[in-house]
Amino acid sequence: MQQTNNQGEDELIRLLLKRQSELNSLLEITRAINRNSATPVIIQMLEAIFKNLLRIGRMRLLVEKDDSFICLSKYGGQFETLPVLLRACNTLKKIREPFALIHSRNFLLSSYDFFIPIYTKNKPLAYILIGDFESDDEMVDNDLQFVQTLVNTIVVALQNKKLFRQRLETERMQREMELAVEVQNMLIPGKLHKDAAVEIGAKYLPHQDIGGDYFDFIRLNDQELLWCIADVSGKGISAALLMANFQASLRAWATVEDDLTSIVDRLNHIVVSNTRGEKFITLFLAKYNQHTRKLNYINCGHNPSILYANGEAVPLKLGTTMIGAFENLPFLNQGEIDVEPGSLIINYTDGLMDYEVDQTKQWNEDKLIEFTINNGEQQPDRFNQLLMDHMNLVIRGKPIDDITLLTLRIF
């Protein structure tokens, strides 16, 4: 009788010590998670617990990721491919509790001792296969529950880390967009110039919070005006910073260079140097001398501006390719044209032409020129509004990109 009591006490002590070891292991895993330890470190700890404390000789851990599964950990025996493992586990996807595989008809599953699923509501988070399991009969249920608890803690923590990273990324992108908006708002002129020589109207419609469009107007001296309209590839803060650098460079060189070809060539080298050819800018750059009434312009791969005068409208296409794409521009031509009093010059970005239009409608450069001829006597702001009303009410399309209009009346 005494011997039986001693055996019972020994068994109780052994059970308590095992439970204490399990709690310590779970505590160490939890501390590692709270320290934001790397996933490989946590998996190494898990494998050590399986091998040394639970005496599991073979293990496969499949974890859900993006509506599929990856094999996050495996050791012992000959390794199977992920598709083979997943097909085998999917045959048991209705099972929610640890399941003995000794009588399984599946050859792969029968080589393991237990299948342990981890679920949240009706969604599987992980599947565990364990084999060469040396647990005592009276401890099997306890050990299987501990495996389930341990893996569930790790998998949920990894998911939380993923959600946390996603939230940080979302917040970072939101802040980046806010900064980009601030930068672009500083670039877009808040008050447009108007004097005896010129009247300007502008309209900027970003497709999203921040676009890559830009326009500028500079009164160089008593006789000369310079303006540009541009579109930088890409979105966000990188595009906004590139455009800010471009604006500063344009304004700097416009005050010291008389020739537009020299300005464009210098701008091209600056953009190539800053972006290493990974971004480019299309622009229309023009300079007008109100004394000679000469308009000089260069179209750098941009939508051609339209000059309207005396009932006729012509596109201004002469120039070069986009800047930033080539270290040296393959060609560079400057256009020159006489401007009649009362002429209207319409500058725009490609968003105006990239409308999703009804199949019964047609919208292209020829249609824009036709619209300009019919409305070219309007004042700049009125012309811009009529054009947008035409797009919304007549063409009935949806813009798929930013739209910028810069319209000038030359007196």
- Report the pLDDT value the prediction gives residue 55, as an integer from 0 to 100: 93
pLDDT of residue 121: 83
Give Cβ neighbours of residue 344 (< 8 Å, ≥ 6 apart): 307, 308, 309, 372, 376, 377, 378, 380, 383, 407, 408, 409, 410
Task: Give the rounded percent of residues in the chain with a pLDDT score beyond 90.
Answer: 59
Which pLDDT belongs to residue 137?
A: 80
Strand-by-strand arrangement of the 305-309 sheet: 198-205, 403-410, 343-348, 305-309, 312-316
Of 237, 373, 109, nearest to 117 by C-alpha is: 109
pLDDT of residue 185: 65
Q: Which range is least confidently modeled, 233-237, 315-319, 349-353?
A: 233-237
Amino acid letter, 107? F
Half-sphere exposure of 54 (CA within 13 A, CB side): 29
Q: What is the Cα–Cα distance from 277 to 265, expressed in whole angstroms? A: 15
Res 393: pLDDT? 84
Least confident of 167-171, 173-177, 284-288, 375-379: 173-177
Q: Are strands 68-75 and 198-205 parallel, antiparallel or unpaired?
A: unpaired
Walk me through the domains of the chain, giving residue ranges and CATH numbers.
2-166 (3.30.450.40), 188-410 (3.60.40.10)
For residues 38-59, average pLDDT = 93
Q: Which residue has the tokens 């447009």?
A: 192
**Confidence class of residue 363 from pLDDT cuts 50, 70 and 90?**
confident
Q: Mean of the pLDDT values across residues 330-349?
A: 96
10 band by pLDDT with thresholds 50, 70 and 90: low
222-254 residue pLDDT tens: 999 999 999 988 777 777 788 888 988 999 999
Question: What pTM value is reported for the model?
Answer: 0.61
